[in-house]
Structure 1
């Protein structure tokens, strides 16, 4: 079975082709991705209307690229999948509209996919796919969650962010430091040159006794610390500080976020008795997070699985894979009912 998947939940347009196998994990045949980062940088963040219009421009050329790379024709596609939510309503409607129109024209079934389930199952696209059951640390954009995963669609929420998520803490802290959008990856690169112990920043909810996350207070602490540093140096802009000082604050910020993620993940593993951890979502590409998780899990004989680096951000491959795995498991059937809606807000435990 060939599954063609579309992702358009925010500022990346992704298309991919996945083939199911009689036994084992489906195979990724090809995928194509276009990021709108350069377009949104001028505004310091994603502009929903511009994002939607750009998805319209990109989706069909990317589809053609995927078909050519896979060596398959549109007529051979068995199921068309798309991101139904969560995400920006207008952006989601582009992918949903294209997918449902294409499926209707082909007379093939269609399937709406949960964006976060796509991230959650994206490590199955790697060369070292996990096996069920496992604990999942999902760190994607505005979501930070720990889940027990016993199979496709069998998810138990263990803890989640109650305000700012880890990705937001990276991006908002970076913006306070005057870094361009998206600031999170830039902050991480600066952190590689800094001292993670230079500034004592809080580790919110680290000793809360539960597995929930809160990073809003850390963002405020970064703001206060940056103001103190600028006052001491008698400069008006954070960018005017010496490079080493800025790198130290970046490293201290990253250290606070990573420590909370690592320790909460280890607690989740201990509470569930699991010996396998899956990390997914954009923050899962953070090298410092990977290094610390690898080191701590190795001590505990825990296997850690990640998506490939280029599949950590939003992409069509994870949507096609999630659809294929749901169909393969018999958990959900695709439909030839082509009327569609989208769900900008859609909790993962409600699918």
Structure 2
């Protein structure tokens, strides 16, 4: 892969770990939404009550698991049990957090982000042998995930992934996705930058798209060849990744080598049968919030719902996409993949029976997730031009 374009050492796709440490240190000081000056948060007593309410809701939700036939399903007994527990736990968490006022939601998110900053780095360093490093690209903070061997030993990096985290365009943070990203690093040989883009309702469309586009431009400016670059995302981040492709088309910016999407939220009309039919089997709340992000933009606008665009290989890259047969976005994703195929865009779609939204992230140990990771590795190997230079170039 090409070296960094700037003459002076700076954090970027191919700097060795010793330079990253010298210039940035080891702290992961990404700016969670609660840390932004424009974002309001709740007082400490109110936040404490919110945390207590979440704990109570989670316990009540988990108490329902024995009554939901947790061992039955399309997979093995342990996978089925894990799926039942995960579904109930995440559904309880999302249902409760979505009911909070935005200031309490941001305060709760901040607490979870702080916990993840303590727990996740040593975990991924030991399990996946991955280094996590803070960086800023075009003013957008984020986290680099790189294999230690690639940084320290001069081994080749397969490619660079710009990852746009999920959260329905309104929540979560890069560190919450570091474990998932590290698994992708281990399976693909790529390095990953998880962008800490602005989110709704404080920053509705088009702010997140502009942040993603700024990071993409900065990667190109640092010397990353589009033939080595992948844009990936899940849920709302998957929808944002697709919207970024339309932005690149409109501004005549080279497209990446491929796109990888996990349960992408690419149709904000939310008018498909699976939205209601799968509400009982998915982890998402039955009233999926999209208004805060749209902020008056029509949900069938192709800038926010790529499924309404005239898709074609001239501007939309080869696409890898996964979803679960039991998730609410299933029909919209089916329509999207059909439109890609009709438009002549190469697409590999995996619809896992009995699985819910973003199952590879929530159940990375499951057989279904391993199948998705293996397929992604093969897809990256097929579409990303191998680097001719070692990581220390």
Common fold by TM > 0.5: no
Which is richer in strand? 1
User: TM-score if structure 2 supplies the norm length?
Assistant: 0.29
**Greater relative CO, 1 or 2 (CA 8 Å, sep 6+):** 1
User: TM-score if structure 1 supplies the norm length?
Assistant: 0.31
